[in-house]
A and B are shown apart, each in its own frame.
Chain A
Amino acid sequence: GQNIDQPTEMTATEGAIVQINCTYQTSGFNGLFWYQQHAGEAPTFLSYNVLDGLEEKGRFSSFLSRSKGYSYLLLKELQMKDSASYLCALRGSTLGRLYFGRGTQLTVWP
């Protein structure tokens, strides 16, 4: 099975940089995803890592280390609209099925 762990809550100020960590244990690996979910809305896709290293997409970057079972999402130049829950999701040994962590609620203060 899969075990995904991420912090429950984080806070940061506008313009700052924040790193949201995700650690996991899995019997197989077919990719790690990050999603953003605003309150009352559906999750939206942010990034995908299947190989080790950093994937950069504008203000958002995601890093993966498969040997350490570790990923992080880096958000730069934080804006108020970045206040949301950030979900780490793992595709394990079975293609298709995607398991989600409980999410990290990020609050950005002015």
Chain B
Amino acid sequence: GAGVSQSPSNKVTEKGKDVELRCDPISGHTALYWYRQRLGQGLEFLIYFQGNSAPDKSGLPSDRFSAERTGGSVSTLTIQRTQQEDSAVYLCASSLAQAGELFFGEGSRLTVL
């Protein structure tokens, strides 16, 4: 596709349930990022993938959060046993190389009731 694609665009879930958020980066982009943005806040770095290298997971807030990137393309962010404080917009971005600018998707808005 022309841009970064994320799904679902909106997700409402109950506390304690697991959720999966998907990101399809721009074709050919080797770097992929996940960020979290709470209402009225800045972007909080979660995880970064670069090619076949081990991901930089240093931003994941707890062991309930995990992400994988299959075949160097599509990525899935999984949040287990969701909590109300997980409510936020989860933004995915990709870049052509690890030094390049980031192109963002429209985000997945997660609401945990």
Chain A interface residues toward B at CB < 8 A:
30-31, 33, 41-45, 48, 87, 89, 91, 94-103
Which stretch, B11-19, B37-45, B61-69, B77-85, touches the partner chain A?
Answer: B37-45
Determine chain B's interface SS by DSSP, over half rule: loop
The 8 Å CB contact of A103, one of B42, B56, B58, B107, is B42
Q: Is the CB of A44 within 8 A of B104?
A: yes
Closest CB in chain B relative to A61 CB, distance in Å? 17
Chain B minimum-CB-distance residue to A91:
B99
Chain B interface residues toward A at CB < 8 A:
31, 33, 35, 41-43, 45, 48, 50, 56, 58-59, 91, 98-99, 101-107
Task: Give the docked Cα–Cα distance between A95 and B33 (Å).
Answer: 12
Q: Is the CB of A98 within 8 A of B41?
A: no
